[in-house]
Amino acid sequence: MEEKLLLGVSWYTAFLISATIHEAAHSFTSKLMGDPTAYLAGSASLSPIPHIKREPFGMVVFPILSFFFAGWMIGWASAPYDPSWAAKNRYKYTAMSLAGPTSNLILATFSLILLKTGISLNLVKIPDKIISLEYITLATINSSTVEGIVVLLNILLLLNVILAFFNILPFPPLDGFALAELFLPESWRTTLTENPGISIVGLLIAWKIFGFIIPYLITSVLLILYL
Protein backbone atom coordinates (compact mmCIF):
# COMPACT_ATOMS: atom_id res chain seq x y z
CA MET A 1 0.00 0.00 0.00
CA GLU A 2 2.85 2.37 0.87
CA GLU A 3 4.60 1.54 -2.41
CA LYS A 4 1.40 2.26 -4.35
CA LEU A 5 1.03 5.59 -2.54
CA LEU A 6 4.61 6.61 -3.31
CA LEU A 7 4.13 5.62 -6.92
CA GLY A 8 0.96 7.70 -7.04
CA VAL A 9 2.87 10.71 -5.70
CA SER A 10 5.50 10.21 -8.41
CA TRP A 11 2.84 9.98 -11.09
CA TYR A 12 1.02 13.07 -9.89
CA THR A 13 4.27 15.03 -9.64
CA ALA A 14 5.13 14.06 -13.21
CA PHE A 15 1.62 14.90 -14.39
CA LEU A 16 1.64 18.34 -12.73
CA ILE A 17 5.04 19.17 -14.24
CA SER A 18 3.99 18.00 -17.70
CA ALA A 19 0.55 19.62 -17.80
CA THR A 20 1.78 22.90 -16.30
CA ILE A 21 4.64 23.27 -18.77
CA HIS A 22 2.33 22.28 -21.64
CA GLU A 23 -0.16 25.03 -20.82
CA ALA A 24 2.54 27.57 -19.98
CA ALA A 25 4.05 26.91 -23.43
CA HIS A 26 0.67 27.61 -25.05
CA SER A 27 0.24 30.78 -23.02
CA PHE A 28 3.73 32.21 -23.46
CA THR A 29 3.74 31.47 -27.21
CA SER A 30 0.33 33.09 -27.53
CA LYS A 31 1.68 36.26 -25.91
CA LEU A 32 4.70 36.25 -28.24
CA MET A 33 2.34 35.88 -31.20
CA GLY A 34 0.21 38.85 -30.17
CA ASP A 35 -2.56 37.44 -27.95
CA PRO A 36 -1.96 38.24 -24.25
CA THR A 37 -5.24 36.65 -23.06
CA ALA A 38 -3.68 33.61 -21.36
CA TYR A 39 -0.72 35.63 -20.07
CA LEU A 40 -3.03 38.17 -18.41
CA ALA A 41 -5.06 35.30 -16.91
CA GLY A 42 -1.92 33.92 -15.25
CA SER A 43 -1.70 30.81 -17.43
CA ALA A 44 1.89 31.46 -18.51
CA SER A 45 3.00 30.54 -14.99
CA LEU A 46 5.15 27.50 -14.22
CA SER A 47 3.19 27.16 -10.99
CA PRO A 48 0.44 24.53 -11.25
CA ILE A 49 -1.92 26.59 -9.06
CA PRO A 50 -3.45 28.79 -11.83
CA HIS A 51 -3.98 25.70 -14.00
CA ILE A 52 -5.58 23.77 -11.13
CA LYS A 53 -7.90 26.70 -10.43
CA ARG A 54 -8.91 26.84 -14.09
CA GLU A 55 -9.43 23.07 -14.52
CA PRO A 56 -9.75 21.42 -11.07
CA PHE A 57 -11.41 18.28 -12.41
CA GLY A 58 -8.89 17.73 -15.20
CA MET A 59 -5.87 18.62 -13.06
CA VAL A 60 -6.80 16.90 -9.78
CA VAL A 61 -9.85 14.65 -9.77
CA PHE A 62 -9.49 12.82 -13.09
CA PRO A 63 -5.73 12.09 -12.75
CA ILE A 64 -6.28 10.55 -9.31
CA LEU A 65 -9.23 8.50 -10.57
CA SER A 66 -7.29 7.30 -13.62
CA PHE A 67 -4.40 6.18 -11.40
CA PHE A 68 -6.76 4.41 -9.00
CA PHE A 69 -8.53 2.49 -11.78
CA ALA A 70 -5.77 2.10 -14.40
CA GLY A 71 -2.46 2.39 -12.52
CA TRP A 72 -1.33 5.43 -14.52
CA MET A 73 -2.44 9.06 -14.81
CA ILE A 74 -3.99 11.18 -17.50
CA GLY A 75 -5.85 14.48 -17.31
CA TRP A 76 -6.11 17.86 -18.94
CA ALA A 77 -5.82 21.61 -18.52
CA SER A 78 -6.51 24.58 -20.77
CA ALA A 79 -5.30 28.06 -21.59
CA PRO A 80 -7.65 30.86 -22.70
CA TYR A 81 -7.15 32.66 -26.00
CA ASP A 82 -8.92 35.29 -28.08
CA PRO A 83 -10.98 33.54 -30.83
CA SER A 84 -10.99 36.68 -32.98
CA TRP A 85 -7.18 36.77 -32.84
CA ALA A 86 -7.07 33.09 -33.79
CA ALA A 87 -9.42 33.64 -36.74
CA LYS A 88 -7.28 36.49 -38.11
CA ASN A 89 -3.93 34.80 -37.44
CA ARG A 90 -4.29 31.17 -38.45
CA TYR A 91 -0.56 30.41 -38.66
CA LYS A 92 0.21 32.10 -35.35
CA TYR A 93 -2.69 30.23 -33.75
CA THR A 94 -1.30 26.97 -35.13
CA ALA A 95 2.15 27.76 -33.71
CA MET A 96 0.56 28.50 -30.34
CA SER A 97 -1.37 25.20 -30.44
CA LEU A 98 1.67 23.12 -31.34
CA ALA A 99 3.79 24.76 -28.61
CA GLY A 100 2.15 22.49 -26.00
CA PRO A 101 3.03 19.13 -27.60
CA THR A 102 6.47 20.52 -28.47
CA SER A 103 7.11 21.27 -24.80
CA ASN A 104 6.18 17.66 -23.98
CA LEU A 105 8.68 16.35 -26.53
CA ILE A 106 11.37 18.58 -25.01
CA LEU A 107 10.57 17.25 -21.53
CA ALA A 108 10.64 13.66 -22.80
CA THR A 109 14.00 14.25 -24.50
CA PHE A 110 15.44 15.82 -21.35
CA SER A 111 14.29 12.84 -19.27
CA LEU A 112 15.70 10.41 -21.83
CA ILE A 113 19.11 12.12 -21.80
CA LEU A 114 19.28 11.98 -18.00
CA LEU A 115 18.30 8.30 -17.92
CA LYS A 116 20.75 7.35 -20.69
CA THR A 117 23.47 9.24 -18.82
CA GLY A 118 22.61 7.35 -15.63
CA ILE A 119 22.82 4.05 -17.51
CA SER A 120 26.17 4.94 -19.09
CA LEU A 121 27.59 5.88 -15.66
CA ASN A 122 26.20 2.65 -14.12
CA LEU A 123 24.00 4.67 -11.79
CA VAL A 124 20.93 3.07 -13.34
CA LYS A 125 20.75 -0.67 -13.89
CA ILE A 126 18.94 -2.07 -16.88
CA PRO A 127 16.38 -4.54 -15.49
CA ASP A 128 16.69 -8.18 -16.54
CA LYS A 129 13.05 -8.16 -17.54
CA ILE A 130 10.73 -5.28 -18.27
CA ILE A 131 7.93 -6.51 -16.04
CA SER A 132 6.60 -3.24 -14.66
CA LEU A 133 4.89 -1.64 -17.66
CA GLU A 134 1.67 -1.52 -15.64
CA TYR A 135 3.21 1.21 -13.54
CA ILE A 136 5.71 2.37 -16.18
CA THR A 137 8.69 2.19 -13.83
CA LEU A 138 11.40 0.82 -16.04
CA ALA A 139 14.70 0.98 -14.15
CA THR A 140 15.92 -0.28 -10.78
CA ILE A 141 18.83 0.83 -8.58
CA ASN A 142 20.04 0.30 -5.03
CA SER A 143 19.76 3.79 -3.54
CA SER A 144 16.15 4.58 -2.55
CA THR A 145 16.70 8.32 -3.06
CA VAL A 146 18.10 7.88 -6.54
CA GLU A 147 15.48 5.24 -7.27
CA GLY A 148 12.75 7.80 -6.64
CA ILE A 149 14.39 10.16 -9.12
CA VAL A 150 14.73 7.37 -11.70
CA VAL A 151 11.09 6.39 -11.31
CA LEU A 152 10.04 10.03 -11.75
CA LEU A 153 12.22 10.39 -14.86
CA ASN A 154 10.78 7.20 -16.35
CA ILE A 155 7.25 8.44 -15.79
CA LEU A 156 8.14 11.87 -17.19
CA LEU A 157 9.63 10.23 -20.28
CA LEU A 158 6.67 8.03 -21.15
CA LEU A 159 3.96 10.42 -19.99
CA ASN A 160 5.33 13.24 -22.13
CA VAL A 161 5.71 11.02 -25.17
CA ILE A 162 2.09 9.96 -24.70
CA LEU A 163 0.87 13.54 -24.21
CA ALA A 164 2.81 14.82 -27.23
CA PHE A 165 1.62 12.17 -29.66
CA PHE A 166 -1.97 12.14 -28.41
CA ASN A 167 -2.29 15.92 -28.62
CA ILE A 168 -1.01 16.15 -32.18
CA LEU A 169 -3.76 13.89 -33.51
CA PRO A 170 -5.80 16.02 -35.98
CA PHE A 171 -9.16 15.87 -34.20
CA PRO A 172 -11.01 18.62 -32.29
CA PRO A 173 -10.38 19.76 -29.59
CA LEU A 174 -6.79 18.43 -29.62
CA ASP A 175 -3.86 20.71 -30.45
CA GLY A 176 -3.12 18.90 -33.71
CA PHE A 177 -6.48 19.98 -35.11
CA ALA A 178 -5.12 23.53 -35.43
CA LEU A 179 -2.80 22.24 -38.14
CA ALA A 180 -5.65 20.45 -39.90
CA GLU A 181 -7.73 23.65 -39.74
CA LEU A 182 -5.31 25.39 -42.09
CA PHE A 183 -6.65 23.22 -44.90
CA LEU A 184 -10.36 23.54 -44.08
CA PRO A 185 -12.90 26.11 -45.33
CA GLU A 186 -13.89 28.76 -42.78
CA SER A 187 -17.44 27.36 -42.47
CA TRP A 188 -16.05 23.95 -41.56
CA ARG A 189 -13.67 25.41 -39.00
CA THR A 190 -16.49 27.27 -37.26
CA THR A 191 -18.73 24.20 -37.16
CA LEU A 192 -16.03 21.86 -35.90
CA THR A 193 -14.57 24.15 -33.24
CA GLU A 194 -17.74 25.68 -31.78
CA ASN A 195 -19.81 22.51 -31.42
CA PRO A 196 -19.17 20.73 -28.07
CA GLY A 197 -20.70 17.53 -29.40
CA ILE A 198 -18.17 17.35 -32.21
CA SER A 199 -15.35 17.85 -29.70
CA ILE A 200 -16.60 14.87 -27.68
CA VAL A 201 -16.80 12.73 -30.83
CA GLY A 202 -13.32 13.92 -31.83
CA LEU A 203 -11.90 12.90 -28.45
CA LEU A 204 -13.53 9.48 -28.65
CA ILE A 205 -12.13 8.88 -32.15
CA ALA A 206 -8.68 10.10 -31.10
CA TRP A 207 -8.71 7.87 -28.00
CA LYS A 208 -9.75 4.86 -30.09
CA ILE A 209 -6.98 5.45 -32.64
CA PHE A 210 -4.43 6.13 -29.92
CA GLY A 211 -5.28 2.81 -28.32
CA PHE A 212 -3.72 1.11 -31.35
CA ILE A 213 -0.69 3.43 -31.38
CA ILE A 214 0.32 3.40 -27.71
CA PRO A 215 1.80 -0.16 -27.53
CA TYR A 216 4.17 0.67 -30.41
CA LEU A 217 4.95 4.02 -28.80
CA ILE A 218 5.90 2.44 -25.48
CA THR A 219 7.95 -0.27 -27.21
CA SER A 220 9.83 2.37 -29.20
CA VAL A 221 10.64 4.34 -26.06
CA LEU A 222 11.89 1.17 -24.33
CA LEU A 223 14.12 0.30 -27.28
CA ILE A 224 15.59 3.81 -27.40
CA LEU A 225 16.15 3.84 -23.64
CA TYR A 226 17.65 0.39 -23.13
CA LEU A 227 19.48 -0.38 -26.37
- Amino acid sitting at position 224: I
pLDDT in tens, 11-69: 999 999 999 999 999 999 999 999 999 999 999 999 999 999 999 999 999 999 998 88
pLDDT in tens, 155-173: 899 899 999 999 999 998 8
Domain count of the chain?
Answer: 1
CA distance 101 to 89: 20
pLDDT of residue 192: 66
Q: Which domain holds residue 152?
A: 2-226
pLDDT in tens, 120-158: 887 776 655 444 444 344 444 445 556 778 888 888 998
CA distance 46 to 98: 18
Q: Which long-range contacts (CB under 8 A, 24 or more apart) does 168-173 make?
A: 168/98, 168/101, 169/206, 169/209, 169/210, 171/202, 171/203, 171/205, 171/206, 172/198, 172/199, 172/202, 173/199, 173/202, 173/203
pLDDT in tens, 70-123: 888 889 999 999 999 998 999 999 999 999 999 999 999 999 999 888 888 877
Compute CA 161 distance to the chain's CA centroid, rounded to the nearest angstrom: 7
Q: Which helix (H) or strand (E) holds 19?
A: helix 2-32
